[in-house]
Structure 1
Amino acid sequence: MTAITQLSPRLLWQFFDTLCSIPHPSGHEAAVRQWITDWAQERGLVTIQDTIGNLIIRKAPTPGMEQRTGVILQAHMDMVPQANADVDHDFTKDPIQPYIEDGWVRARGTTLGADNGIGLAACLAVLADDKVQHGPLEVLLTVDEESGMTGAFGLAPGMLQGKILLNTDSEQDGDVYMGCAGGVDANITLPYQAESVPSDHQALRLNISGLRGGHSGININEGRASANKLLAELLNEINKLQAGIRLSEVSGGTLRNAIAREASALLTLPKSANPALAELITARQQQYQQEFNGVDDFIDLELVSADLPQRVMTSDLQQKLTQALLACPHGMMAASRDIADVVESSSNLGVINTETEHIYVQCLIRSLNDTGRDRVANATAAVFNLAGADCEFDGAYPGWQPDPQSAIMQLVLNTHKELFDLVPNVKVIHAGLECGLFKAIYPEWDMVSFGPTIQGAHSPDERVHIEAVSRFWQLLVRVLRQIPEDKAASFK
């Protein structure tokens, strides 16, 4: 147990502390799912695990509330695994180490997992606390949301009985969400064409580090630097030097839904090219410090000695790869015409890897509509096809179309006003929520999403605001108590 177990609401924070102690990155939710299942069954709760690995838990209504409309509380069980370069952390084995700092909870050198661990902890706290009043209740806990929404894709119709879904995966206190972007993964492979390393060459590794990174949906319009895009710029400038510098391998980023924080390139070059390369890197370091001042203040470029590789790319491949990465769509592509201050379409150049037979690139393309998604996808494919790469798209998921007539939305707005004397902002989030997939399977569901303030999600800077968690809990508990008997009833 850590100090966060003494925070309020205590039951929620105790559950979150336990979740931090059980490794649960995407694709490795078995341990946390088993712990939740054992805990729920000990309490006599009905638990159902579907074929994809999702977990459904049912709790009987509070006496006298049996006729209320059934509610599904929803969270996902996985977290994004990101650690600082100087932190040795195995997310499949090592616990997260939370600590309190200036009114926030953070983790030591890694992502915290507040996304969506706080929502998950809130669901468990509702199940555990018999003082929370509610009608028929189901808790839906999905798997693999962060890396592919596998759980939402695999959810079968008829598994759930409720008609109102409360999604807990939003990240701003005072905002309530009624829609989200859809997305698709672009998986790109470019055959590795090799040559022998010139006999007079030495090897240097160009490293880019110190970037903030962040969530490729929430932070994509903030002008944060992408290590992968900076690397493409640098390689393009290196090619222009005409100094005989050759590229052996490139790598950058680890997740398609996280803005790349680090990237590197293994170069070989004659000693005569050292001064020009060093001068270029120094100049770019100064440029980036000015360009990203106040946004990414700690960008670091360095050249370090490396072992001579066995191969380098052909000059043709080096040029085509560099230009394709440079031209690859990244960042906000279009703003919504219908909703102020909302990104319509974006793309994140998330991952670059050099493998034995090819270079692998992965982008996550998001949009509020299929037209915008397809436009960016087609542009991405065109860029890489010109370079001789194959571009395949998979994992497409729909957006959650806003419903201005949502009764549960109105209830949440009214309840927030009652509790905090403040009408929250109604928003559409550019990040992907599972609600769009749920709506395709259960079109009758009325859905809303809200949560506490979480900053820096998908990066080691992730933190959750303690007071916002308390307000989130108060809102959730009051909304559950005020769910009406008839879903279509007026909430005025």
Structure 2
Amino acid sequence: MNKLINLEPNRVFHYFEEMTKIPRCSLQEDKIADYLENFAKVHSLEYIRDSSNNIIIKKAASLGYEKSPVLIIQGHMDMVCEKTESCNINFEEDPIPFEVEGDLIISKETTLGADNGIAVAMALAILEDDTIEHPPLEVLITSNEENGMSGARNLDGSLLKGEMLLNLDSETEGVACIACAGGQRESISFPKEFKKAEDKREFYEVSVSGLKGGHSGQDIQKGLGNSNKLLARSLYKINTNFDIDLVDIIGGAKPNAIPRYAKAIIAIYEEDKKDIQNLIVKLNRDFVKEFGKVDPDVRLNFEKTDKFEKVLKNSLKTDIINLINVLPNGVQSMSQDIEGLVGCSTNVGVIESYDDRIDVLVNIRSALSSLKEEVGNIDKVCAEAFNAHYKILSSYPAWEYKDESKIRDLASRVYKDLFGTELELEAIHAGLECGLFKESIGDIDMLSIGPNIYGPHAPGERLEINSTKRVYEFVINILKNLK
């Protein structure tokens, strides 16, 4: 049963619902790329699918627009796959569960994938509709935007002829993005070294739960709790006051999402149990005082678990706990040019445990490459100080403001004519692929818009229906005026 069949614009929501049925987590985009390729074949449109699974679909200009400049319409096919602790969805096979509630489409237990599935849905609706007046179009759907932007990074810009690019990856209606932060993703790795667990030890799970999480770019200034940092802080207190062993530690799900949950397995002496429980109670009170207004459900848990035969060596335990504690996290500086805009931030997003190592994944965002490098250097120094291996996994440049922009001026006029209000222009702290397109395509004229999306990168992500309708109308009228 199609839940969105009665929504308008009908074909936009048709394609969006189709996308909820297709697995498309970052780095697992083969099925959605197949779908897009088949779409181009069915509609007899020229297309290119490159080795990174980027899809380019081209459509000739409508009558009277043959001499208009080529426009690139761009979005990304992948999504952040996040779910609640109780949700048992298999993102590699299952459709995204969602409901319509009033003017919202919402997935309560997982991410919805409106970021950036709604852009793809709009692009496909435009491509199939021969009644729309438009210039020559190149629809560019990139892969793996959410996990390092490798699709945009590996794009062969010579495949595109567009002089302007309309990115549909923004998340606030009536606000057009004209610049964005650059970013860097890092790993800090500890090789695992073990010792035999003492027979008289008892084992407990220490976990942080109840946090909201959020987008590590647009939500970083809200002061939300970071489960990885709160867990490390708790472990530091416990380890300082009691003789404990560390068995394992994990936390978070995606480097670009503020982590909501983290846990560690520790081994204690039973005679310390009551005092540790008292410390847990105190830490809980501290966390509620510190985060109660933004994360009212924050909770530090302490529960008995099964025994383990081996634990991490003492020196490694201390290095891991100390490293996560001292790593920078959150807003590092505000923009000197734009009031209220975060200039540089970092997110200790993921702690992963493997058979042979523990990895800490960090995501840095900055409008200035110098500050991005500075925070990266601090992370590297921290890693070296605590006997860990530091590696830059990926880096992308900022999209810098352009003084003159035809597409920005045109979009501003069209928006005012349609809705009677001014289109707001802003730079954002989130990352878009536009900075990479400057490198691969050249000095192209770009603008980013999109409908209202709430809570991207976290369960409970919501897409506003009427906002989608208005933004689609806005896009159609931009095309019509590119004559």
TM-score, normalized by length of structure 1? 0.96
**Counterpart for residue 410 of structure 1:** 409
Q: Determine the C-alpha separation between the residues in 2 that align with 1:472 and 1:294.
A: 33
350-359 or 114-123: bigger deviation: 350-359
Q: Is the 8 A contact 1:333 1:347 kept in 2?
A: yes
**Counterpart for residue 26 of structure 2:** 26
Q: Determine the C-alpha separation between the residues in 2 that align with 1:324 and 1:25.
A: 30
Q: Determine the C-alpha separation between the residues in 2 that align with 1:107 and 1:461.
A: 5
Q: Is the 8 A contact 1:179 1:428 kept in 2?
A: yes
Counterpart residue type for residue 212 of structure 1? K
User: Per-residue deviation at 1:431?
Assistant: 1.2
Q: Is the 8 A contact 2:352 2:360 kept in 1?
A: yes
How much identity, in percent, do the aligned residues show?
A: 34
Counterpart residue type for residue 186 of structure 1? E
**Counterpart for residue 367 of structure 1:** 366
User: Per-residue deviation at 1:330?
Assistant: 0.7
Q: Determine the C-alpha separation between the residues in 1 that align with 2:29 and 2:194.
A: 40
**Counterpart for residue 267 of structure 2:** 268
Counterpart residue type for residue 257 of structure 1? N
Counterpart residue type for residue 259 of structure 2? A
User: Per-residue deviation at 1:300?
Assistant: 2.3
Q: Are 1:190 and 2:200 matched, yes or no?
A: no
Q: Are 1:376 and 2:375 matched, yes or no?
A: yes
User: Per-residue deviation at 1:461?
Assistant: 2.0
**Counterpart for residue 319 of structure 2:** 320
Q: Determine the C-alpha separation between the residues in 2 that align with 1:19 and 1:474.
A: 21
Tell me the SS of whatever aligns to 2:159.
coil
Q: How does 1:111-122 map to 2 (within 5 A)?
A: 111-122=111-122
Q: How does 1:3-152 map to 2 (within 5 A)?
A: 3-152=3-152
Q: Determine the C-alpha separation between the residues in 1 that align with 2:287 and 2:351.
A: 21
Q: Are 1:454 and 2:453 matched, yes or no?
A: yes
Counterpart residue type for residue 117 of structure 1? G
Q: Determine the C-alpha separation between the residues in 1 that align with 2:270 and 2:225.
A: 31
Q: Determine the C-alpha separation between the residues in 2 that align with 1:473 and 1:302.
A: 46
Q: Determine the C-alpha separation between the residues in 2 that align with 1:422 and 1:15.
A: 30
**Counterpart for residue 422 of structure 2:** 423
- Deviation digits for residues 45-65 of structure 1 (CA, Å, limit 9, x no counterpart): 111112221111111211111
Tell me the SS of whatever aligns to 1:224.
coil
Q: Is the 8 A contact 1:112 1:460 kept in 2?
A: yes
Counterpart residue type for residue 230 of structure 2? L
Counterpart residue type for residue 74 of structure 1? Q
**Counterpart for residue 357 of structure 1:** 356
Counterpart residue type for residue 441 of structure 1? S
**Counterpart for residue 168 of structure 2:** 168
Q: Determine the C-alpha separation between the residues in 1 that align with 2:215 and 2:309.
A: 36
Q: Is the 8 A contact 1:2 1:98 kept in 2?
A: no
Q: Is the 8 A contact 1:214 1:459 kept in 2?
A: yes
Shift >3 Å, 4+ stretches:
none
Q: Determine the C-alpha separation between the residues in 1 that align with 2:191 and 2:443.
A: 47
Q: Is the 8 A contact 2:108 2:461 kept in 1?
A: no
Q: Determine the C-alpha separation between the residues in 1 that align with 2:157 and 2:14.
A: 33
Q: Is the 8 A contact 1:166 1:447 kept in 2?
A: yes
User: Per-residue deviation at 1:419?
Assistant: 1.1
User: Per-residue deviation at 1:287?
Assistant: 2.2
Counterpart residue type for residue 41 of structure 1? K
Q: Determine the C-alpha separation between the residues in 2 that align with 1:26 and 1:292.
A: 31
User: Per-residue deviation at 1:317?
Assistant: 2.1
Q: Is the 8 A contact 1:4 1:99 kept in 2?
A: no
- Deviation digits for residues 265-307 of structure 1 (CA, Å, limit 9, x no counterpart): 0011111111111111122222222221231121122222211
User: Per-residue deviation at 1:359?
Assistant: 1.7
User: Per-residue deviation at 1:346?
Assistant: 0.8
Counterpart residue type for residue 75 of structure 2? A
Q: Determine the C-alpha separation between the residues in 2 that align with 1:13 and 1:222.
A: 31
Q: Determine the C-alpha separation between the residues in 2 that align with 1:156 and 1:456.
A: 32
Q: Determine the C-alpha separation between the residues in 2 that align with 1:23 and 1:57.
A: 21
Q: Is the 8 A contact 1:96 1:108 kept in 2?
A: no
User: Per-residue deviation at 1:23?
Assistant: 1.0
292-301 or 374-383: bigger deviation: 292-301
User: Per-residue deviation at 1:3?
Assistant: 2.1
Counterpart residue type for residue 130 of structure 2? D
Q: Is the 8 A contact 1:178 1:427 kept in 2?
A: yes
Tell me the SS of whatever aligns to 1:348.
strand
Q: Determine the C-alpha separation between the residues in 1 that align with 2:35 and 2:316.
A: 50
Q: Is the 8 A contact 2:108 2:460 kept in 1?
A: no
User: Per-residue deviation at 1:134?
Assistant: 0.3
- Deviation digits for residues 229-272 of structure 1 (CA, Å, limit 9, x no counterpart): 1001101111122x222211110011111111110000111111
Counterpart residue type for residue 143 of structure 1? S
Q: Determine the C-alpha separation between the residues in 1 that align with 2:239 and 2:442.
A: 53
Tell me the SS of whatever aligns to 2:48.
strand
User: Per-residue deviation at 1:355?
Assistant: 2.4
Q: Is the 8 A contact 2:227 2:259 kept in 1?
A: yes
Q: Is the 8 A contact 1:245 1:273 kept in 2?
A: no
Counterpart residue type for residue 465 of structure 1? E
Q: Determine the C-alpha separation between the residues in 2 that align with 1:21 and 1:331.
A: 35
**Counterpart for residue 487 of structure 1:** none
Q: Are 1:225 and 2:225 matched, yes or no?
A: yes
Q: Are 1:249 and 2:248 matched, yes or no?
A: yes
Q: Determine the C-alpha separation between the residues in 1 that align with 2:14 and 2:56.
A: 21
User: Per-residue deviation at 1:371?
Assistant: 0.1
Flag the 1:114–1:314 CA change in 2: closer, same or farther, 3 A: same
Tell me the SS of whatever aligns to 2:170.
coil
- Deviation digits for residues 398-434 of structure 1 (CA, Å, limit 9, x no counterpart): 1111112111111111111111111122111111111
TM-score, normalized by length of structure 2? 0.98
